[in-house]
Structure 1
Amino acid sequence: MGGEEEKRVWGECVWLGRCLLPLMDVEAWRRDSRAETFQKMGVERGEYVFGVFAGIVFHSAVKDAVAEGSSLSVATLDAVPLKAVLEVVTDRADYAFLIGMPSAFMDEAEETAALALRLCVYVRYPHVPVLRRYLAHTLLTLTGRVSTPGPTCADLRGWAHAAGVRRA
């Protein structure tokens, strides 16, 4: 991956992706149901894979903003509306997510998850549509809980900090 700012943006995208599930866990039954869903799918470390997948989608949304003239920065990520992230996950073909795939990763586990997701896209493995639906549902649920019109990634970051979600 390119410069330090690009690495920071990717790291923030993955962190936001990893914040989603803890923010959904207002009710304990959600966590249990999700664990069961991932288990039925045969996805080991399902929450981790989901976080990396969501990070790829956030990164795709940032790259869209860059293509429209914004600079590649955490500030650009923060300005991305969650509605735009939802549109990325619902309106694009699976292979289009690969635009959000960086060429280098923060650690080996993250790289393994991302490369597994890339393989799943190429072979049209059924996990990708399930992850897409789950991410869309998560974004809709979280944005539906707030009265903020047009929440952004910065709002999501604020919700995560307020809920005490820690960085891994």
Structure 2
Amino acid sequence: MTSEHEHETLWNRCAHLGRVLLPLVDQEPWRQARRREHLRAWDIDTAVGERLIETFTALTAHAVAVDASLTAADFDALPLRAVADATTGKRDYELLAGLPGTFADDRDEHAVKVFRLRAYAGGRAGLQLFRLGTEVRHALTVVAERSPVPSPTCGDLLHAN
């Protein structure tokens, strides 16, 4: 059985992955403009949408790591492809399972609460999360295709920033 400290440490690794994803994608500036255009078209505030993309990435990576019984020390070996596949392969509420009881960063706690509210609201909010999930999958795919290694891992992405 893993400790609460281990859960927090794993979450922190996943949250860091979420925070580095968009800056890595935005190395080509047109990608940021296109993403923001999508967010406006979906009636999602840009700042809120980009924070939800970070959170969606972290939640997905965390869910995949928990499903694979990975520790924070093992997280770097998690294939990006597995995380990308889970963004559209898991239901929103499945991404919320196994989260730590507390968060060291209040921003993370708030972002998870916002995600949770949207996931359970359904309707328009659910559609927006679905769209954000496709955006996360696309971002992970772009970064993976850019990687100099054939099958990039979460660790490769974390160390690229």
Q: Give deviations 1:72-125, integer Å, cap 9, x for gaps.
A: 22x211111111111211212222112254332233332222111111111222
| Larger relative contact order (Cα-Cα within 8 Å, sequence gap ≥ 6) | 2
1:26 match: secondary structure: coil
Gaps of 5+ in 1: 161-168
Question: Structure 1 vs Structure 2: percent identity of aligned residues?
Answer: 34
- Maintained 8 Å contact 1:20/1:138: yes
Higher helix share: 2
In the other structure, the counterpart of 1:118 is 116
* 1:49 counterpart = 2:52: yes
Residue-pair matches, total: 154
The one of 36, 61, 64 aligned to 1:58: 61
Write the distance in 2 (CA, Å) between the matches of 1:100 and 1:58. 12
- Maintained 8 Å contact 1:49/1:113: yes
In the other structure, the counterpart of 1:136 is 137
> Which one is further off, 110-119 or 12-21?
110-119
- Maintained 8 Å contact 2:79/2:152: yes
TM-score relative to the length of structure 1? 0.82
Cα RMSD (Å): 1.8
Write the distance in 1 (CA, Å) between the matches of 2:160 and 2:107. 26
- The one-letter amino acid of 1:112's match is H
Write the distance in 1 (CA, Å) between the matches of 2:96 and 2:110. 15
In the other structure, the counterpart of 1:151 is 152
- Maintained 8 Å contact 1:57/1:100: no
1:109/1:76 Cα in 2 relative to 1: closer, same or farther (>3 Å)? Answer: same
Write the distance in 1 (CA, Å) between the matches of 2:104 and 2:38. 27
